[in-house]
Amino acid sequence: MDATTTPPSHRDAHLEASLDTSTLRGLGLWSMGHLTTIENEMRAFIKKAPSNITLDMKEIRNFDSAGAIILSRILTLSRKKKKHLTITGLEKRYQLLLDSTFECININDKIPEIRPIKNPFYYFGALMIQEITLFLGVFSFAGEIIMSTLYTIRHPLFFTWRSVLSVFQSNCYRAMPIVALLNFLVGLVLTYQMSLELVSYGMNLYIVNISSLVVLREFGALITAIIAAGRTSTSFSAQIGTMIVNDEIDALKTMGVRPLELLVLPKMLGILIALPLLTVWADFFGMLGAMIIAKVEAGIDFYTFIERFQEVVPISFFILGISKTPVFALIITIVGCFQGFQAQKNANSVGRRTTNSAVQSLFLIIIADSLFSVLFSWKSM
């Protein structure tokens, strides 16, 4: 390479080579804005140069981090080309800058690549970390809801009561047909399966006892909560996630409005009111389905069924079933809103969070119902 080629500007960093091309002299400003051609010159020189090269840098000026980065790249290239490049003449402060820059640029070469062993234990551990992180996130979100609730209790005038009515209408009034139909069918099917065995033993009247226990204490509240999780929890996630996509949450924060108090608390209060009422509605239609099958399969007329119901079914069955609904309502609200706030600003994230909301709500509701069943059975012993 002819290093005496005229550079774009005499102030720019450039090189001059000796006749045997084993020694280079660095000239000009080795600083930001003056290094446009020097790296290409050095690369071309190293390809043609002998195995030992000396770069004399005593005549350079204004050596900064940009020049150190270029020089570090050149040193790395010379090593890859198996050329021994020796840099001389740098001032002590410039040499320290070059050494630290070269070390930072090449630090990744010193770190061996660690490939995780992806066996069943690895996947199990990754799943556990993911679930623990999710639990901590939900737990933290629940704490924020508690603090917002306490603030709202102290400042009730700032609460949006109209939003509560809107949530109640969409998640109670509009859910009544599907809740009635599903619980009617559940009562119908369960009583039919029981009647096949009880009638064969001549224990027709016990259909009233068992169907009342199953519907009032277990399935009325559980089926209603599952329907609410499918309808309500997903709608909460989709609504909040869409607001994040449209930057509406950021706009609320900019205006000084707390998103939890505006979006979460009205939903939580609305569900806490709606779910017990829906459970009462569900119990009625569940028992109606049981009465119809008891008449068709076991010959128990409606009057006899109601009379037997009043005699043998304690009010505790109904109370225990209703007492579970506030916990189910909190699960639906917290999980649905939490997943909504975790959404990112794209449609795929909103859809994924909506799906997670439904799955996690159903899972936690079934877990909670199982714990209630064990607790109530233990207390009744």
Domain map of the chain by residue range? 14-110, 161-374
- DSSP lists the bridge partners of residue 14 as 27
The average pLDDT across 31-36 equals 74
Using a pLDDT cut of 90, give the percent of the chain over it. Answer: 23
CATH topology of domain 14-110: Transcription Regulator spoIIAA (3.30.750)
When comparing pLDDT for 298 and 111, which is higher? 298
Would residue 2 be called left, alpha or beta, if left means φ above 0 and alpha means ψ between -120 and 50 degrees? beta
Helix, strand or coil, per DSSP, at residue 25? strand
For the CA atoms of 328, 331, 336, 341, what is the dihedral angle to 10 degrees?
160
> Quick one: pLDDT band at residue 3, thresholds 50, 70, 90?
very low
**Does position 96 have pLDDT exceeding 60, yes or no?**
yes
In this prediction, residue 323 carries a pLDDT of 92
The average pLDDT across 279-286 equals 93
As a whole number of angstroms, the distance between CA 231 and CA 172 comes to: 11
As a whole number of angstroms, the distance between CA 215 and CA 184 comes to: 10
Nearest in space to 372 (alpha carbons), one of 217, 234, 245? 217
When comparing pLDDT for 237 and 75, which is higher? 237
| Amino acid at the residue 66 | A
Residues sharing a CB contact under 8 Å with residue 166, sequence separation 6 or more, in sequence order: 266, 270
As a whole number of angstroms, the distance between CA 260 and CA 251 comes to: 14
**Does position 166 have pLDDT exceeding 60, yes or no?**
yes
Whether the CB-CB separation of 30 and 67 falls below 8 Å is answered with: yes
Would residue 88 be called left, alpha or beta, if left means φ above 0 and alpha means ψ between -120 and 50 degrees? beta
**Tokens 């033993």 label which residue?**
201
The average pLDDT across 151-180 equals 85
> Quick one: pLDDT band at residue 156, thresholds 50, 70, 90?
confident
The average pLDDT across 300-323 equals 88
**Does position 7 have pLDDT exceeding 50, yes or no?**
no
In this prediction, residue 112 carries a pLDDT of 54
As a whole number of angstroms, the distance between CA 69 and CA 63 comes to: 10
> Quick one: pLDDT band at residue 21, thresholds 50, 70, 90?
low
User: Could you report the per-residue pLDDT of 199-221, keeping only the tens digit for each?
Assistant: 878 788 888 888 888 899 889 99
